[in-house]
């Protein structure tokens, strides 16, 4: 009647062990994601930008379920733009999500359906509610690994196309040594 946990989270690092799906994104997988695409294409394609560990507790698309993931974003820059995740709207666009920062320093970059962007600072322990209709991505603004926990509905899905086509309308750039959210063009 009593079972051992099938998944463990290391609470200081965010690392999952057990029933977990692993994925990673290297610079070669992120064509068109950074403002300076020609620089990205000239940098080492094997550079790892982020990894995601997901506990897939339900079938993708199942209504009423939840997924858990930890995203690990590495420190670094493409020019003056911080390493970051691709970012997405949800395919079921009204679906919300929680993010919380486990370690490191970063920024949660948000965009509404009209292209208006804003950002929230992430530090270990910060909790971020992302309501539906809001695209979300995270950037590492620190010198160490950024780990962010996430929980989202299993029927939310990922809409990357809207971001791929138009991009985020503002970018987090290191200007005078500090992160600033700068409108594109």
Q: Which residues bind Zn ion (CB under 5 A)?
A: 97
Say which residue the tokens 């939310």 belong to: 156
Instruction: Candidates 37-45, 86-94, 110-118, 166-174: pick the segment binding ligand M6P (CB under 6 A).
Output: 86-94
CA-based nearest residue to 11, from 92, 110, 160, 125: 125
Q: Which of 33, 40, 82, 87 binds ligand M6P (CB under 6 A)?
A: 87
Residues between 88 and 107 with contacts to ligand M6P, criterion CB under 6 A: 88, 97
The answer to whether 141 contacts ligand M6P (rule: CB under 6 A) is no
Helices marked H in 26-178: 37-42, 161-166
Nearest distance, CB of residue 172 and Zn ion, angstroms: 18
| Residue 53 or 177 with smaller CB distance to ligand M6P | 53
Instruction: Candidates 29-37, 79-87, 121-129, 164-172: pick the segment binding ligand M6P (CB under 6 A).
Output: 79-87
Q: Distance (Å, rounded) from C-alpha 110 to C-alpha 82?
A: 15
Residues between 145 and 164 with contacts to ligand M6P, criterion CB under 6 A: 150, 152, 158
Task: Provide the mask over 23-62, with x wherever binding to ligand M6P is found by CB under 6 A and - wherever it is not.
Answer: -----------------------------x----------
59 half-sphere exposure, CB direction, 13 A CA radius: 3
Contact between 133 and 162 under an 8 Å Cβ cutoff? The reply is: no
Contact between 116 and 75 under an 8 Å Cβ cutoff? The reply is: no
| Residue 40 or 90 with smaller CB distance to Zn ion | 90
The answer to whether 86 contacts ligand M6P (rule: CB under 6 A) is yes
H or E element that contains 87: none
Number of residues that bind ligand M6P (CB under 6 A): 12
Nearest distance, CB of residue 90 and Zn ion, angstroms: 6
Q: Look at phi and psi of residue 157 and say left if phi exceeds 0, alpha if psi is from -120 to 50, else beta.
A: left
**Cross-strand bridge partners of residue 155:** none
The 3-state DSSP class for residue 161 equals helix
Where do contacts with ligand M6P occur on this chain (CB under 6 A)?
Answer: 52, 69, 71, 85-88, 97, 137, 150, 152, 158
């Amino acid at each position: 009647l009593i079972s051992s946990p099938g998944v463990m989270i290391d609470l200081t690092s965010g690392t999952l062990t057990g029933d977990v799906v692993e994925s990673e994104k290297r610079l070669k997988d992120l064509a068109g994601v950074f403002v300076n695409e020609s620089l990205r294409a000239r940098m080492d394609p094997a550079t790892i930008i982020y990894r995601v560990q997901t506990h897939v507790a339900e079938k993708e698309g199942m209504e009423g379920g939840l997924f858990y993931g930890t995203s690990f974003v590495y420190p670094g820059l493409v020019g003056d733009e911080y390493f970051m995740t691709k970012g997405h709207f949800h395919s079921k666009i009204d679906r919300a999500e929680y993010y919380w920062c486990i370690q490191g320093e970063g920024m949660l970059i948000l965009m509404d359906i009209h292209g208006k962007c804003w950002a929230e600072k992430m530090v270990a322990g910060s909790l971020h509610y992302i309501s539906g209709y809001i695209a979300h991505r995270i950037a590492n603004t620190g010198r160490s690994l950024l780990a962010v926990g996430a929980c989202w509905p299993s029927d939310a899905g990922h809409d990357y196309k809207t971001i791929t086509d138009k991009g985020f309308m503002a970018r987090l750039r290191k200007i005078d040594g500090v992160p600033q959210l700068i409108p594109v063009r």
